[in-house]
Structure 1
Amino acid sequence: MSRQPNYLSYRVLVFVGVIQVITFVVAGEPQVPCYFIFGDSLVDSGNNNGLVTLAKANYPPYGIDFPQGVSGRFTNGRTVVDIIGQLLGFPKFIPPYATATDQEINTGVNYGSGSAGIREESGSHLGDRISMDRQLLNHQATISRLLALQNNKTFTDEYLKKCIYLSNIGSNDYINNYLIPNTYTTSTTYTTEEYATVLVQQYSQQLQTLYNLGARKLAMFGLGQIGCTPAEIKRFGTNGKPCVEWINDAVKLFNDKLKSLVDDLNSNYSDAKFTFINLTSISAPQGDVPLPNTPCCEVREDGQCVSNSSPCLVRALRVFYDGFHPSEISNTLIATRSYIGVIPADTYPYDIRYLARH
């Protein structure tokens, strides 16, 4: 007899996490002067809206619970980085690069782009996207704008060192690359071990570029359990298991190498702090009762919400909003435990609150 998902324990878990964090957040000035965000659709706040791509969320029912409505966020409400920004004390959401004004960039920019990857080609079958390399070029352009506005290079250099830099990327290098052998050659070129190695090597270069551009407080999200997303379960099947285990095994190789990279970077750059956010730990079911992982919205073949469809009524009881992206309640859990690690495995070696204060 199959067990029913323990919705109540999930809600209590999120509630407890939120209360723990709210206890530490005091109204006033933001804890850091600025906050820069890099990544994919898990953090995109509208950069893909103007691109020719299937990977965009600027239509209902996305944004049904977001204060400004439809924005291009791939969820019903706030993303993880929105909530972390609030926990850091920012009164407004960090603007997307596509629309950020000179006045806004002083507090940071969101460069995230749906379907983007560490590798340039990842997500290309869906259309245009802003890869990690292109996001770094956009950040260079932002720094040039800041230099012109602040008119004091020494001040700008010191300013940038105090900011939080958050990167959440890599999922599309699997979902929209390695796991589509008919479109991309990576799975025939590399074993899962080799692929994780080349991905982390390229990511390492990108993070060092970010360091060279002035970043000193950097948080890197590991990948979530892609094999547990509704879209991948539907596509590959699970052989009676809760998730597609071979996909999760491949992702674990990447996460383990990224965590080791954090150690290397902290050793090599003693004036900076790099940290690893363990999404697998944070998202793990508590106890032996599986969490509900059916999409809240009606989904297309590619896992995104059907335009103008009606989502589920009680969105606080769903882990996923569409076939790939977490609901706001899941994002709240992830953000709060990234900001203050609840258990040692959540963040390594620092949580984001520590990063902001040191």
Structure 2
Amino acid sequence: MVSKLDLLFGVLITAALMQFQIVFVIGEPQVPCYFIFGDSLVDNGNNNGLVTAAKANYTPYGADFPQGVTGRFTNGLTVADIIGQLLDFPNFIPSYATATNSEINSGVNYGSGGAGIRDETGRNLGDRISLNRQLLRHATIVSRLSNLQRNKTFTNEYIQKCIYIVNMGSNDYINNYLMPNNYPTSTIYTPYQYARVLIQQYSQQLKSLYKLGARKIAVFGLGFIGCTPAEIATFGTNGEPCVESINSATMLFNDRLSPLINDLNNAFFDARFTFINISSISAPQEGVVLPNVPCCQTRSDGQCVPNSVPCSDRTMYTWYDGFHPTEIANRFLASRSYAALSPMDASPYDISHLAQL
């Protein structure tokens, strides 16, 4: 019988090592630009200048990244970086914090560690750029593009051809609902009610993204948060491999997210929304599962201890710190998001097909 421990991203040693053998043949990008919304799973430096504990601009983060420490919450590339490579972008998409006028034609990364669907999410960590604030930033980028291209009609047509990914919701549990001493949400809402409230707000935010010109939008579901080393250390598992109550609560969100994507596609005939089902991609497979322990020494909030020495072979670990995957795990997740191996991985399209529409 397969335990929930085997659900930890389903990253197998054999499958993961195969990801490093992908050869990226860079030609013209499959879409003109690529915009990234989300939290620390995609943050590439937007939090570096913020007053917050949620930043990764120190070693041992970036141990395997070509430019070293950048603010990415992993040892190397994020899921968003790898999807960009698979879409044939020759360079990493710049962070909003650093993007120049010459760079924004290829897209912008708005991701922010600690950010959530709800504005208050992550305030226990300090400043962060919520999804609502990321959408406001995107509006300024669209305006900058229009001014640079000097043709509003051209800009509108241009951004409709781009890929947009949105990876939000984890912090609305980790740094909100699961912190009753910091937030009242768990006393106000049952898990069912909270999932419903989150989806209602998320629906309005995704509609706002549509109004800003997005037409090819990949929305990522939540992974098994109850299987992260940090949540296991905090809550315990009562003899189970993972914190089952947390996984049950977050799956209620996923159960509502997939129908929301269908509703959005029905409401906006000229748009293509798709659901990236991380829980399916993380499903158990045959092989040897990578260990469920962090690669780096972690502090109380689950992040790496500054200047600590990480594990020597990062290809043999799923988790870099208490919450964030290693690059090898990110490669597995990104490859399945881009080219689904099962109809359950992405619905109605994987990202490679979304790009072609």
Query: By the TM > 0.5 criterion, same fold?
Result: yes
- Partners of 2:169 and 2:134 lie apart in 1 by 14
Instruction: Give how far 1:288 is off.
Output: 8.6
Deviates more, 1:232-241 or 1:35-44: 232-241
- Superposed, 1:141-156 pairs within 5 Å as 141-156=140-155
- Partners of 1:267 and 1:180 lie apart in 2 by 36
Change (3 A) 1:330 1:246: same
Instruction: Give how far 1:289 is off.
Output: 6.3
SS of 1:37 mapped into structure 2: strand
Which residue in the other structure is 1:244 paired with?
Answer: 243
Alignment check: 8 A CA contact 2:26 2:90 kept: no
- Partners of 1:103 and 1:111 lie apart in 2 by 17
Instruction: Give how far 1:343 is off.
Output: 1.3
TM-score, normalized by length of structure 1?
Answer: 0.95
Change (3 A) 1:90 1:288: closer
Instruction: Give how far 1:10 is off.
Output: 1.1
TM-score, normalized by length of structure 2?
Answer: 0.95
Q: Does 1:11 align with 2:13?
A: yes
Which residue in the other structure is 2:311 paired with?
Answer: 312
Instruction: Give how far 1:226 is off.
Output: 0.2
Which residue in the other structure is 1:48 paired with?
Answer: 47
- Superposed, 1:1-358 pairs within 5 Å as 10-16=12-18, 26-287=25-286, 291-358=290-357
Alignment check: 8 A CA contact 1:122 1:176 kept: yes
Unaligned runs of 5+ residues in structure 1 are none
Q: Which amino acid aligns with 1:123?
A: G
Alignment check: 8 A CA contact 1:46 1:71 kept: yes
Relative contact order (C-alpha < 8 Å, sep 6+): which is higher?
2
Alignment check: 8 A CA contact 1:223 1:280 kept: yes
Alignment check: 8 A CA contact 2:83 2:335 kept: yes
1:123-151 CA-partner distances (Å, limit 9, x unpaired): 00110000000000000000110011000
- Partners of 2:289 and 2:148 lie apart in 1 by 51
Unaligned runs of 5+ residues in structure 2 are none
Q: Which amino acid aligns with 2:200?
A: Q
Could you tell me the percent identity over the aligned residues? 66
Alignment check: 8 A CA contact 2:17 2:328 kept: no
Instruction: Give how far 1:11 is off.
Output: 2.0
Q: Which amino acid aligns with 2:99?
A: A
1:35-93 CA-partner distances (Å, limit 9, x unpaired): 00000000000000000000000000000000110000000000000000000000000
SS of 1:345 mapped into structure 2: coil
